[in-house]
Amino acid sequence: MQQTIIYCGVRELYIHETKHVQEKLETPYFLIDKQKLDDNIKDLKNALATCWNNYIIGYSVKTNSLPWLICYFKNRGIFAEVVSDDEYNLVLKLGYAKDKLIYNGPIKSKHTFLQAIKNGCIVNIDTEREISWLKSLCNTGQKFEVGIRVNFDLEAYCPKETLMGDAGSRFGFCYENGELLKALNNLKAFNNVKVAGLHFHYGTKTRSLNVYQAIARMACRIKSEYDLDLKYVDVGGGFYHSMSGKPSYMDYIRVISGELSQAFDVTKTKLIVEPGVSLVGTPISFVSSVIDINQTIANYFVITDGSRINIDPLMNKKQYIYTIKYMDNTRKTMPTQVISGFTCIEKDRLFLLSNHPQLKVGDQIIYNRVGAYTMSLSPLFIKFYPAVYVKNNNKIIKVRKKWTSDEYIQKSRFEMLE
């Protein structure tokens, strides 16, 4: 387990500066390091510009749909990759141009699906029902473009790497059993709808370069076999970046572009990537405080105002990357301490400290690299959403206030039926 122990006067560390007020930050809260976010985007753009200088980046909104982040990406020319009518409406409300969206996944609504196609978004068909919805575009006198999500046996090319293994992915149209060809033929029947792109996305355990090599090869194969004229190949997300010992954006894009160049012309076909975790994972931390100690016959429980539901909502991570900030350096060593969350769930225990300085009320525990699938997956269980701050140089601004009962009950009705 990775950790750093810092002895310092925590209360002086994080100051929220507004024009005239200096406010102490109250834990728990998420903290976004804008510089790290900037660096991740710069690295991705650089890799794409170097290897395939005809590209679109679509930020995977589900990974962290914090409004500030969505606006941040919008202002940097990055498309929003959305997968539901709610996400679609959210990004439009936040000012996204109506054609700067990538619309994916099986839970699109018919209305937003058709609207997105008419607006010129990149819309990747995932299901049969979406093909049937296209009927409403016939007889409009206009021409439209869609992409199609490919389901292929990635496990056969990258054994033991995919998340679902032999059970296979449940998304998109299967290449091996002819469903993809059938869908392409059904789409051809609409003479005003053209298949302009292939979409792939695979969740894998390894996020390895092999995975992207297999995906890019499959894109080449499908293009050649079905004689497709494609404006884009969308390889999805699932990358690592800025993690030591793991591939970087440059490594991935080099492999992808090397394969794509066998069948595609960089001037005619765009490469689309849909990163989530690799962009927002590392720049975001979660700051919690020790609020109490409970010494029992079995253990020394350190109770904090953070929880596994904040940084690991599915409660399946085996370890967290954290920093401990002690208020002073006069601590005796404790044989064991169980760092625990605020919920009433017994297994809300974050980690065990062995032979470490004793934690006391007021010390802080900061969990690092927790920007992905945390804020957007957290339940409103026991405590409502915590505040979010953005740090840039020495300035910190609050970009989301802590939710209160006001936000929780908004739009509720209270008339009784008896």
Ligand X SMILES: Cc1ncc(COP(=O)(O)O)c(C=O)c1O
Nearer to ligand X, 276 or 306 (CB): 276
How far apart, in whole angstroms, are the C-alpha atoms of residue 279 and residue 43? Answer: 10
- Of the two residues 124 and 304, which places its CB atom closer to ligand X in the complex? 124
Residue closest to ligand X (Cβ): 276
Q: Measured between alpha carbons, how far is 349 from 326 in angstroms, rounded to an integer?
A: 20
Give me 91's structure tokens.
């990004």
Instruction: Please state, as a whole number, how many other Cβ atoms lie within 10 Å of the Cβ of residue 393.
Output: 7
Residue 125, strand partner residues: 148
- Residue among 66 and 339 whose Cβ is closer to ligand X: 66
Task: Output 14 or 232, the one with its CB closest to ligand X.
Answer: 232
Least distance CB 377 / ligand X (angstroms):
11
Min dist. Cβ of residue 361 to ligand X (A): 36
Kindly list the residues in this chain that would bind ligand X in the complex (CB under 6 A). 60, 63, 81, 104, 201, 236-239, 274-278, 372
Contact of 345 with 382, CB cutoff 8 Å: no
The two three-digit tokens of residue 405, written as one number: 């009962």
Minimum Å gap between C-beta 360 and ligand X is 37
Tokens describing residue 186: 């059904």
DSSP sequence for 302-353: EEES--HHHH-TT---S---EEEEES-S---EEEEEEEE-SSS-TT-EEEEE
* C-beta separation of 306 from 30 below 8 A: no
Q: Decide whether 232 or 342 has the Cβ nearer to ligand X.
A: 232
β-partners of residue 326 are 7
Q: How far is the CB of 140 from ligand X (least distance, A)?
A: 28
DSSP per residue, 378-395: ----SS-PPEEEEEETTE
Cis check: omega of the bond before 386, within 30 degrees of 0: no
Provide the minimum distance between the beta carbon of 95 and ligand X in the complex, in angstroms, as a whole number. Answer: 22
Residue (57 or 309) nearer to ligand X, CB: 57
Q: Which is nearer to ligand X, 67 or 106 (CB)?
A: 106
DSSP secondary structure code for residue 189 in this structure: T
- Min separation Cβ 58 and ligand X, Å: 8
What's the min distance (Å) between Cβ of 204 and ligand X? 9
